[in-house]
Amino acid sequence: MEKPSYVNFDKSAYPWRPDVDYRANPELYRVGKGEQGVLICEPYKSELTPHWRFKTPEIAKVSSRAIYKLFLAHLRRGDFVGADMARKFLQMGFTRARRYANYKGGRKYDAADKHPLAKGTGDPAKVESAAIFYEAWRKAEAKPVYARMKTEWKAKYG
């Protein structure tokens, strides 16, 4: 069995830092893979977290719309870091809602003995919540201005 990524994790090599203001120092931001850094990069994390909810499809609609509007606002201001963080929150809404749809309580492993729990024991309402976030996430990634900014950012900063 392959070791989880957190085993032998080298914190010093991790490109995101909780003590950095990424609005004041955007050049320190790295795009990364998927949702990497999403719960670290301030002040964006604190601005987006209050909007991030997926308990019911109705809540997910309100949440994904609010985050998508913030995504667009960041694009209009030319703030790639803010836009990318909003995109990551949309992606995370999808992935976390799917986790709760698949597993009761969102846990993949038993807390006591760490054995894998049965898939398909989760909340069926979360399937719809996940679909709502998925649509918003894909819509954000399809924005040509975002794609251009992302390509330029990665070429310049990584």
pLDDT over 80 at 122, yes or no? no
- The pLDDT confidence band at residue 5, using thresholds 50, 70 and 90, is low
pLDDT over 90 at 154, yes or no? yes
Residue-range domain boundaries for the chain: 42-156
pLDDT in tens, 37-73: 899 999 999 999 999 999 999 999 999 999 999 999 9
Asked whether the beta carbons of 96 and 106 are under 8 A apart, the reply is yes
pTM: 0.87
Q: How far apart are CA 60 and CA 133, in angstroms?
A: 7
Q: Which residue has the higher pLDDT, 145 or 10?
A: 145
**98 Cβ contact partners less than 8 Å away, ≥ 6 residues apart:** 126, 127, 130
Predicted pLDDT at 110: 74
Asked whether the beta carbons of 75 and 149 are under 8 A apart, the reply is yes
Burial class (CB within 10 angstroms; exposed 0-12, middle 13-18, buried 19+) of 2:
exposed
99's tokens: 């986790």
